Structure 1
Amino acid sequence: MNHAAVRRMSPLTVLAVVSLVGVPPATAAPPTPVPSALFYDLPAGLGCAFHLQVSGTDAKTHIQEFRDKNGNVIRTITAGDGYTLTYTNADTGKSLAIQSSGSVQHTTLNPDGTSTVTLTGNNGLILFPTDHPAGPTTTQYVGRVVFTTDQSGNATVVSTSGKSTDICAALAQ
């Protein structure tokens, strides 16, 4: 399983790439649509203490890649209308659906193989036992989240602000 892909699931807002971030001397490819649906099946102990399933539907998002003069991707912006996310405790069947209210993800790919990710708006963040702080946790944020990833895809949360909902706690009962 690609944990880096699971880590962040975003309901996303309108694409406004150039107005969001100044463009350095790099080239930008045309925006690429993101799949309109997703599904993750996370065993107990990975996303929550219980078996967690996450589905996303109805996404209308795009990814914009920025490349350096050698053609290497150095930054991405993902934005659009986003997913309606449904989190389900597979052990009990209890679920929680969250309608997208929009967000944007800025990812800077560093030369050493690490990355810095800034999420704004409405985003789900799953932290695994190898992350900092250590999971398993699944949290829905409305606000801003900044985290870094190491070369192995392990995340370290730098900061959060805004409203957070502990999905594991909401589905545990």
Structure 2
Amino acid sequence: MNEEAVVSLIKDLTAKLSAVAEEFSGRVDRVEADDPAAPAVAVPDNLSRVKRLIAERRSRRRFLPAELFHEPAWDMLLALYVANEESQAMNVKSLVACADAPVTTSQRWIEHLAKLRLVTRVVDTVDRRRVEVSLSQTGIEAIEAYLAAHR
């Protein structure tokens, strides 16, 4: 299977998952509207919400030109939030891949996010060429405040 076919399959899967999530959300809303005495449905946790945001953002490219949705900083913040919640390390190279932007553009955004104190960078003690990037406490609080405001 060539790379184009894999990318196409991933895009299709992302779109289908987004459609399933949307359908499920609509069903929950209808159940709540039909039966106000029904037990409260748990609000999805932040990690699930951020993963869904990432999937939705990627699925837009299936229907519209990718250059319409160029926000590497937001893509990086979302990816770093997931990495933080899953206790995973993320290096500059993997973060750049999440941004879907040229390396130099992504590196400038990482620098800017660090200046804003939304991310921290730590040089790997074993391989000094490798730099780990993570959300700072300020970054975590900002993402969680955003999520709370959009419940």
Higher relative CO (Cα under 8 Å, sequence separation at least 6) belongs to 1
Between structures 1 and 2, the one with greater helix share: 2
Q: Structure 2-normalised TM-score?
A: 0.26
Larger radius of gyration: 2
Q: Structure 1-normalised TM-score?
A: 0.24
Between structures 1 and 2, the one with greater strand share: 1
